[in-house]
Amino acid sequence: MTIRVLIVDDQELIRIGFRLFLQTRPDLEVVGEAADGREALVRAAELRPDVVLMDVRMPRMDGVEATARLTNRPPAPTHRHSTDELRSAAPLPRVLILTTYDLDEYVFGALRAGASGFLLKDAPRERLLEAIHVVHQGEALLSPSITRRLIEDYAGRTDPVRPAPDLLTALTPREREMLLLVAQGLSNQEIAARLVVTEATVKSHVGSVFAKLHLRDRVQAVVLAYEHGIVVPGRRPGRH
């Protein structure tokens, strides 16, 4: 299966570099480029990419707003669908954030906006390939370090958290435990070791949590947990 990629960056040399490298891969197809977020929306609507490589700091529209618009779709109309409406029902693209610094304040906003992960621009080429495949498969590319920073970001917020949504009652005690550990930044392997179960068991429970809470990936799980006060900001993973 060929993964369709759209490259969004305001620096032409960076776009060219990514394109030339990705075009050497038989399982990847660079379907287009965009120089800012506004152009990215237009190009994405025309080209229907599977994965968007998104810079964050760009003129006219930055990567945060563009990500939010690309990963959120309004409710479908109830009347007879037009051709344009049927096209709009196509799967939403996965957004992989490209950043120069892992402390970039825009990264957190982009993750909350719906990005599936982030990648440093100077990462090894193999890491870029891995990242594209990971987000295309529906997983989140979220390292423990960025998870901790995201948590710290929420810990520093002064606005009150909202109460946990009623839909949490749909989770079993074990699934609630899985959500807490995912929100603390633990990988499936680390959760399996903590709970003394197999990784396959963890993956099954985590998948069930995502399905019940209508979450796309681990990024959304972390955001939901901290926005709704399911996890206490500032608390670090530790032994029970």
* Band (164; pLDDT cuts 50, 70, 90): low
CATH annotation of 162-227? 1.10.10.10
Looking at the predicted structure, is the pLDDT value of residue 237 above 90?
no
| Pair 128, 119: CB distance under 8 Å | yes
pTM of the model: 0.67
Strands 117-120 and 28-34, bridge-based pairing? unpaired
Q: Tell the CATH superfamily of the 3-141 domain.
A: Response regulator (3.40.50.2300)
* Band (25; pLDDT cuts 50, 70, 90): very high
Alpha-carbon gap, residue 229 to 90, rounded angstroms:
33
Confidence (pLDDT) at 30? 96
Mean of per-residue pLDDT scores for the chain = 79
The domains of the chain are located at 3-141, 162-227
* Band (156; pLDDT cuts 50, 70, 90): low
Q: Which residues of 129-157 are buried (b: 16+ CB within 10 A; e: fewer)?
A: eebbebbbeebbbbeeebbebbbebbeee
**pLDDT top residue among 113 and 18:** 18
Write out pLDDT tens, residues 117-134.
888 888 888 889 988 988
Confidence (pLDDT) at 14? 92
Looking at the predicted structure, is the pLDDT value of residue 29 above 90?
yes
In angstroms, how far is CA 154 from the centroid of its own chain?
17
